[in-house]
């Protein structure tokens, strides 16, 4: 558990660096809101990431009052055999629910992105 939290804190810190860099480039007074997209297979626990953000943002006046929204992106695959696409919860040995093939391409669910942010300039 402890290891997981360290992971989320380091991700929050690097996203925070990116957000403040963008804010400074735009001569912003502050960041008012941030939307993140986090995929189910990214290995990030969304609650832990939100907790980490809420804790560290207070140390940075640019982002201290920002609202952080995190979108949980489901895991979608496309089957290379039958060409169907579908959502799955599992990331461990996923197989196609239609033809049972293991030859799957991942379509979404690996995201770890800053989708957009609002700045006050």
Query: Which spans of this chain sit near Zn ion (rule: CB under 5 A)?
Result: 79, 81-82, 96, 98-99, 101
In whole angstroms, the minimum distance from the beta carbon of 83 to Zn ion comes to: 7
DSSP string, 102-119: --EEEEES--EEEEEEEE
In whole angstroms, the minimum distance from the beta carbon of 88 to Zn ion comes to: 12
Instruction: Pick between residue 55 and residue 99 the one whose CB is nearest to Zn ion.
Output: 99
In whole angstroms, the minimum distance from the beta carbon of 105 to Zn ion comes to: 11
> In 57-97, which ranges are E strands?
67-73, 76-79, 85-87
- For 57, list phi and psi in degrees, rounded to 5: -65, -25
Instruction: Pick between residue 33 and residue 101 the one whose CB is nearest to Zn ion.
Output: 101
Instruction: Pick between residue 65 and residue 101 the one whose CB is nearest to Zn ion.
Output: 101
Instruction: Pick between residue 15 and residue 88 the one whose CB is nearest to Zn ion.
Output: 88
* Separation CA 88–CA 74 (nearest Å): 8
Task: Name residue 78's beta-bridge partners.
Answer: 85, 105
């Amino acid at each position: 558990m402890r290891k997981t939290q360290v992971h989320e804190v380091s991700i929050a810190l690097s996203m925070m660096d990116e957000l403040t860099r963008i804010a400074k480039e735009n001569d912003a007074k502050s960041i008012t809101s941030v939307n993140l997209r986090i995929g189910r297979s990214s290995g990030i626990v969304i609650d832990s990431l939100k907790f980490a953000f809420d804790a560290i943002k207070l140390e940075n006046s640019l982002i201290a009052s920002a609202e952080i929204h995190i979108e949980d992106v489901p895991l979608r695959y496309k089957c290379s055999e039958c060409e169907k696409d579908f959502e799955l919860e599992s990331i461990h040995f996923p197989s196609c629910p239609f033809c049972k093939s293991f030859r799957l391409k991942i379509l979404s669910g690996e995201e770890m992105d800053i989708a957009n942010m609002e700045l006050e300039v």
